[in-house]
Amino acid sequence: MKKSWVTQLNNMIKECLFKECQAIKLENELIRVIILPKMGGKVASIYRKDKDFELLYQNKEEVYKKPKIYDTFSEYDASGFDDAFPSIDISKVNISGKEILYPDHGEIWSADFTYRVDNEKVYLIYESTILKYKYEKIFSLSKDNLIAEYKILNFGEDEVPCIWAMHSLIVCEEDMELIFPTDTHEIINVLNSKFLGEVGKIHSYPLTITSEGKPYELNKILPLSSNNMEKYYVKGAVTEGICGAYYPSKDVNYRVYFDKSKLPYLGFWITEGGFRGDYNCALEPTNGYYDSIEIAEKEQGLYKIKPNEALEFILRIEIK
């Protein structure tokens, strides 16, 4: 028999189990959010109640398999909203003459967070085991919005080179439309692709021409049967801190509002059946251009947290 328990913390927040994992549930009259502190503070579900609409791609298994630091990201559930920090790709950095290996998709997705509830906010805290930083994120609800506040404090004596990326996998539907920042005119391909060609190829947005000479709409989704994967970035810094998607079948708008001065770049990942048969995508605001520390530094898009300073920013996720 599956274990089931619920502890009421206040009118909006409860402790519970979600797929056999310790969870925190935030809920108001419009949306319900599930957070998993022991799984990197993953947001496992963002559910719009009146529309019966789940935004986030769900774990295919009935239980979560707990990852360890330096595990391979693709061997786990690849669902929900994780934080990629301090890198996306495996990277090596030199700090105080010592080589540090950054794990696949970073350290945070496998981290075990402590948490506390104060008023109607959930505070999650983790201290790194490989670097001298403290990672805090605070979740709260406001009408049809999930607010996520971040503070990453470098308490060491050296700069911490880092990439932070919002790895939030949302469900795909064939008629959905992707929303990129205004004045997005070009993207740069970062994954060898049968449609977008080689890594580094520049394409016009939203309509481009494939490597086969056919028109291809970058703001649309191909069927699951296409067995395709893509990864690209808006070329250069974004002009506004907004991205998202529209789902006509439910008349639901998903928007992410972010500070473009703190997260100036935007990546996009999609698997239309090409990765484990999954059908999801992720618009990924980030402070790194792109994916690995080495590439970001080469492209002059690498952020470094100075000693005794913090990287702080807020995401507002709207399900309207």
- Domain with residue 85: its CATH number is 2.70.98.10
User: pLDDT tens digits for 202-248?
Assistant: 999 999 998 888 999 999 999 999 999 999 999 999 999 999 999 99
Residues 10 and 151 in one domain: yes
Domain count of the chain? Answer: 2
Residues 197 and 126 in one domain: no
Residues 274 and 244 in one domain: yes
Is 26 part of a structural domain of the chain?
yes
Is 78 part of a structural domain of the chain?
yes
User: pLDDT tens digits for 84-125?
Assistant: 999 999 999 999 899 999 999 999 999 999 999 998 999 999
Q: What is the mean pLDDT of the chain?
A: 95
Is 296 part of a structural domain of the chain?
no
Domain range enclosing 83: 1-160+313-317
Residues 133 and 169 in one domain: no
Residues 143 and 121 in one domain: yes
Residues 272 and 172 in one domain: yes
- Percentage of the chain beyond pLDDT 90 is 94
Residues 148 and 192 in one domain: no
Is 174 part of a structural domain of the chain?
yes
Is 301 part of a structural domain of the chain?
no
Reduced to 3 states (helix: H, G, I; strand: E, B; else coil), residue 288 is: coil
Say what the pLDDT of residue 96 is.
Answer: 87
C-alpha to C-alpha distances, 221 to 165, 245, 261, nearest whole angstrom:
22, 11, 29
Residues 279 and 170 in one domain: yes
- In the chain, helix, strand, coil percent, each to 5? 5, 50, 45
Contact 320, 252 (CB under 8 A): yes
Is 302 part of a structural domain of the chain?
no
Nearest-CA neighbor of 242 among 266, 220, 262, 218? 266
Any idea what DSSP says for residue 273?
B
Mean pLDDT of 143-156: 98
Is 211 part of a structural domain of the chain?
yes
Is 150 part of a structural domain of the chain?
yes
Residues 120 and 177 in one domain: no
Decide if pLDDT at 318 tops 70: yes
Residues 16 and 51 in one domain: yes
Say what the pLDDT of residue 241 is.
Answer: 98
Residues 210 and 72 in one domain: no
Query: pLDDT grade, residue 178 (50/70/90)?
Result: very high
Residues 73 and 194 in one domain: no
Say what the pLDDT of residue 2 is.
Answer: 44
Contact 162, 86 (CB under 8 A): yes
